[in-house]
Structure 1
Amino acid sequence: MNTNNKKKLLTLIENLFSGKASVKEITKLFNFFQSHQSMTTWEEELGDRKTVEKRIFHNIQNEIRDKGSVRNTKSIFLKNNLLKYAAVILLGGLISYVYFKNEVPSPIQDIEVVKNNIETGTNKATLTLKDGSQILLEKGKVYKSPNVNSDGVEIVYADQQGKEMDSEIEFNYLTIPRGGQFVVKLSDGTTVWLNSESQLKYPTHFMAGQPRKVELMYGEAYFDVTPSSLHDGRAFQVHSKDQNIEVIGTQFNLKAYKDEATMYTTLVEGKVLVSHQDKSQVLLPEQQYAYNIIDKTSTIANVNVYNEVSWRNGVFSFENKSLKEIMTVLSRWYDMTVKFENKDIENEEFIGVLYKDRSIESILKNIQSVGTIESYEINDRNVILK
């Protein structure tokens, strides 16, 4: 979390317990802490937790002690689940009530489910070999060939460094469908995590004396690249559309979906050189390079790396993302379509973490609980937000 957003959260906390927070601010704050309740990122996100708790608790004591003298206010006891839960989260169960001056959001409405065929995403991919034959890789299924092994979660290529001089390069494709994810460990030891609706083209082994090249045809991938020093100084290169990334042993995330005009390269650690046409740019850790493939423009920004790469660790972490952007991400993981019946909520922001192993109903209830959406309907593989 950047410094500016950290200050905003701390300000919201103070406003909540001084009675100054609006309903929208309260719901945004609640969602952040609800999504982080089982995580160990308190200190990372906001600093020392005990210091924050003491300050909040002090404000609550003052508010309760002075509640009789509050002017022109409507004190509401925390029977509402939203505020009651927020207090419990903020103070680890020590606080069960607080008074504040604003109206609370409406209770969660019942979900309308006509027929729910939406399944949580899982490990699955299709491996396409040199001869065009395809092999389905999925959780619980083992695949073996002379130099390749898969346990249904990842596919691993044997180290063939000694054979590089005499063997012709063969390319494989690993295609991840909507509702899937998979990991591939290349013959040089580089590990690539592939997100839903992605495809990677790569050689079964790398030729000696030549750069190690792979191509992200589309989708999103996280690369943990083995250093060039282990491969006679040969750089690792990732090509995607008309952009090329040259790596010297690093970790980075590349997002280049077919239905999105902008590609995002986010550097976690190390160093990469991003280039397209006659323009090149070196990225530093925690920088994100955004390149629009239509008008060929680009920008660089500092980002919260955790939010960009958390998908490979079983969570979606959103910070100041619109509901429309979030639903695009979720639609890929749950292989569903989303329709906004209420267009006014498309730009509503959501801060928090959604766990990828939860059902779509659980995810939507989480979003609904903080007032981002009023109600929704699930019919077959379609979600309608109202």
Structure 2
Amino acid sequence: MNTKQAKELLQRYRTGLCTEGEKLVIEGWLASLTDEDHREWTAQEKEAFKGMLQLRIVKAIDETEAAPVISQRRFRLFRLVAAAAVILVMGAGVYSLLLTNTGKKEALTHKADPQPANDIQPGENGAVLTLANGEQIVLDSAGNGMLAIQSDVKVINKGGQLIYDPKSSSSDEVVYNTISTPRAKQFKLQLSDGTKVWLNAASSIRYPARFTKDSRTVEISGEVYFEVASRQADNGSAKVPFSVKILTATNDDGGTVKVTGTHFNINAYEDESLIKTTLIEGSIQFKKGDTEKRLMPGEQAQLNQKGVIKILRNANVEAETAWKNGYFTYDKTDIQTVMKQLSRWYDIEVDYENGIVPDDKYWGDIQRDATLSNVLKVLEMSGLKFRVEGKKVTVIKEIGK
């Protein structure tokens, strides 16, 4: 559904011609404009809010038609979704284009809300490159241009990403480099075969500066997204496989992903209960020990701590890859998962008051370039409270909520 169709849907609601499922969702959303959880909004803010709702109707309508009975709790979480966009746009005081009910695009600006004196800023681009001889280069401060030559391959820093240019290389020497992102950093890399790699916070990849003619293997930890370049063998009869070995905190085998040319995301953080490999495009094989599973687009391989592989057939690809596109996307996500993501991106310590972990679930999107205080404001709409002391954030469950 495009924006024009969304506007027509709202018009059908106003004229009483929409379905019962459409009516439930729209009324739940519109009710949030006067919900007691919100501060007083100006008329312009309300119009902006309605514009946001139009852009989100299609997904929610689909869910509603599948399950016509929607609880008030679900409406509350939908309110979180919509309010997230509004708060982060206005709280950061940025310029944004929102669609009003008139169908006209208007610029919405808002004076930034007062921010805490020591508000925690979001993560940014940055990483450490370790060369074959052990020399380390901090990429945050490295200027554009050639940084090194590895196995006769030029290592170039360009526009916030590292590129391995093998065009002039004639060496068969295999040397390994490593890129590591600390907490609150992310980075992009292009390998010598043209494969593109995105590293989330607290992640790493070890790779040869130049791949051999018949093998392409890398090792990763944390969360990494791949767009693997297809490469033909010298005889032209087959493609050179690309393998990703997943490392765990104890250097145990976290499984191997085998591909030829495809897009996929691997989440292998040591503080998560599952190692998840989500396929976006192409085809891959996930192997652990003697067990091997083939994935199709939209599927996810989940490896638990007992070494058992489960295949999720309809994974939420958007949620799994949102970090790469500048968002946190939640789809019935528990608070512990939410806070783990925030801890890595904002480099904070997370605690739960009295050891009580709330059972709240979250739907929706939050921009990763928002300050921590703005993100916590959004999450507080679900009934939680947060106490921030320096870089420590305590999650507080309010009684009766």
Question: Which residue among 223, 228, 231 is the counterpart of 1:225?
Answer: 228
Question: Residue in 1 aligned with 2:59?
Answer: 45
Q: Deviations over 1:292-318 (max 9, x none)?
A: 1x3111211111111100101111111
User: In 1, Cα distance between the equivalents of 2:360 and 2:334?
Assistant: 5
Gaps of 5+ in 2: 1-18, 39-47, 66-78, 88-97, 103-112, 248-252, 397-401
Question: Residue in 2 aligned with 1:183?
Answer: 188
Q: CA deviation at 1:199?
A: 0.7
Q: CA deviation at 1:346?
A: 2.7
Q: CA deviation at 1:384?
A: 1.6
Letter of the 1:244 partner, please give it: T
The answer to whether the 8 A contact 2:80-2:379 is kept is no
Letter of the 2:340 partner, please give it: T
Change (3 A) 1:84 1:332: closer
Question: Residue in 2 aligned with 1:99?
Answer: none
Q: Deviations over 1:178-212 (max 9, x none)?
A: 0000001000000000000001000000011x221
Question: Residue in 2 aligned with 1:381?
Answer: 391
Letter of the 1:340 partner, please give it: Y
User: In 1, Cα distance between the equivalents of 2:49 and 2:244?
Assistant: 34
Change (3 A) 1:329 1:284: same
Q: CA deviation at 1:142?
A: 3.0
Question: Residue in 2 aligned with 1:240?
Answer: 246
Letter of the 1:125 partner, please give it: A
- 2:301 aligned with 1:295: no
Which structure has the higher relative contact order (CA within 8 Å, separation 6+)?
Answer: 1
Question: Residue in 1 aligned with 2:127?
Answer: 125
The answer to whether the 8 A contact 1:154-1:183 is kept is yes
Change (3 A) 1:372 1:252: farther
Q: CA deviation at 1:42?
A: 3.2
1:377 partner SS = strand
User: In 1, Cα distance between the equivalents of 2:188 and 2:356?
Assistant: 38
Q: Kindly, what percent of the aligned residue pairs are identical?
A: 31
Change (3 A) 1:46 1:175: same
Gaps of 5+ in 1: 1-6, 28-33, 53-80, 96-109
The answer to whether the 8 A contact 2:119-2:372 is kept is no
1:138 partner SS = coil
Q: CA deviation at 1:258?
A: 2.0
User: In 2, Cα distance between the equivalents of 1:179 and 1:380?
Assistant: 16
2:193 partner SS = coil
Question: Residue in 2 aligned with 1:268?
Answer: 280
User: In 1, Cα distance between the equivalents of 2:81 and 2:194?
Assistant: 49
Change (3 A) 1:46 1:112: closer
Q: CA RMSD in A?
A: 3.9
User: In 2, Cα distance between the equivalents of 1:270 and 1:84?
Assistant: 33
Change (3 A) 1:336 1:47: same
Q: CA deviation at 1:116?
A: 3.2
How many corresponding residue pairs?
Answer: 315
Q: CA deviation at 1:150?
A: 1.1
Q: Deviations over 1:80-121 (max 9, x none)?
A: x989979x99x96559xxxxxxxxxxxxxx9996x7363310
Letter of the 2:219 partner, please give it: E
Change (3 A) 1:320 1:343: farther
Question: Residue in 1 aligned with 2:136?
Answer: 134
Letter of the 1:151 partner, please give it: K
Question: Residue in 1 aligned with 2:367?
Answer: 355
User: In 2, Cα distance between the equivalents of 1:342 and 1:159?
Assistant: 56
The answer to whether the 8 A contact 1:193-1:222 is kept is yes
Counterpart mapping for 1:1-386 below 5 A:
13=25, 16=28, 42=56, 45-46=59-60, 94=101, 116=118, 118-138=120-140, 141-142=143-144, 144-146=147-149, 147-151=154-158, 153-160=160-167, 163=170, 166-208=171-213, 210-216=214-220, 218-229=221-232, 232=236, 233-241=239-247, 242=253, 243-292=255-304, 294-301=305-312, 302-341=314-353, 344=356, 346-368=358-380, 370-373=381-384, 375-386=385-396
Q: CA deviation at 1:367?
A: 1.2
Q: TM-score, normalised by structure 2?
A: 0.69
User: In 2, Cα distance between the equivalents of 1:17 and 1:39?
Assistant: 7
Change (3 A) 1:12 1:244: farther
Q: TM-score, normalised by structure 1?
A: 0.71
User: In 2, Cα distance between the equivalents of 1:222 and 1:299?
Assistant: 20
2:374 partner SS = helix
Letter of the 2:366 partner, please give it: L
Q: Deviations over 1:338-361 (max 9, x none)?
A: 112165553201111110111000
User: In 1, Cα distance between the equivalents of 2:52 and 2:29?
Assistant: 23
